[in-house]
Amino acid sequence: KTETSYEPTQDRKEQERERKMAALPVVIPSQRIRQCIEGIGLTIACTQDVPAAIRLLAGAHTSLSIDLSLHSVLGENGFLAFTQLSEALRRNTSLTSLSLKVSFNDLRAAQMEELASALMHHPTITTLSLSLASNRIGAKGAKVLLDALTSNSVLTSLAVSLYGNRLGKKGARNVAQSFSDSSNTNLQSLLLDLGSFVVPFVLLLLLLLLWCSP
């Protein structure tokens, strides 16, 4: 018995190619950045192109959403890319809204010090969302970052995800203390994601600190 094989038609090949392309992460190549910057805001899914994200932060944009999760800021030079990213953010004086996702990057307390330095006195960002889940920030890193964020009186909306960072009870105390000592009276919206086991400790400690404060 002779089996007959059929070559897929050109239409089927094209459909298969489009299906595979649709499953890939959205990445805006650096050479197309200028073409994509239109209007007031810009959203970029930058899962691999770290230099492009740094150039975006160094530009005069009012709204950015950058996704550098899954080891995108790690490379041959270690955390140098994150240092450059923080420095670009510190120098930016036009952003009013920023969403930065750097989950799963093995970040440590040292990187939080760099990010804290960039955000503590940032003069224009009012809406900030940070996704720092599943790194190695620890209690010290969380304290440094949150102290900086709660002292920035320009922020009116803040969302921070820190789950999966080994905060423990000490980290819970640090988080509660940061918000108890906060000098920001303009914050209108706050969303904290610390993981299901840490949240009860933070709430209890925060209530106790507020109750005992004069």
Listed ranges 39-43, 76-80, 178-182; the one with the highest mean pLDDT? 178-182
The model's pLDDT over 31-67, given as tens digits with 9 standing for 90+, comes to: 344 444 433 344 444 445 778 788 888 777 788 888 8
C-beta separation of 168 from 194 below 8 A:
no
**Which sign does the torsion angle of CA 133, 208, 187, 58 carry?**
negative
C-beta separation of 92 from 120 below 8 A:
no
The pLDDT of residue 126 is above 90: yes
Listed ranges 25-29, 126-130, 172-176, 188-192; the one with the highest mean pLDDT? 126-130
Average pLDDT estimate for 120-142: 94
Q: What are phi and psi of 154, to 5 degrees?
A: -80, -30
Instruction: Quickly state the pLDDT bin for 74 (edges 50, 70, 90).
Output: low
Least-confidence region, from 71-75, 116-120, 158-162: 71-75
Which tokens belong to 199? Answer: 């949240």
Which tokens belong to 58? Answer: 């160094």
C-beta separation of 72 from 106 below 8 A:
no
Cα distance between residue 195 and residue 183, in whole Å: 25
Which tokens belong to 156? Answer: 């009116």
* N-term to C-term CA, the chain: 92
What element of type H or E holds 189? strand 189-193
Cα distance between residue 60 and residue 44, in whole Å: 15
Cα distance between residue 123 and residue 154, in whole Å: 7
Least-confidence region, from 23-32, 43-52, 97-106, 150-159: 23-32
Cα distance between residue 97 and residue 90, in whole Å: 14
pLDDT for position 6: 47
pLDDT for position 181: 78
pLDDT for position 157: 94
Cα distance between residue 105 and residue 103, in whole Å: 6
Average pLDDT estimate for 109-117: 95
Provide CB contacts within 8 A for 90, sequence distance 6+.
Answer: 117, 118, 122
pLDDT for position 54: 83
Average pLDDT estimate for 78-93: 88
Q: How many CB atoms lie within 10 A of CB 170?
A: 15
The pLDDT of residue 135 is above 90: yes
The pLDDT of residue 112 is above 60: yes
pLDDT for position 127: 96
Which tokens belong to 144? Answer: 């440094």
Average pLDDT estimate for 69-96: 82
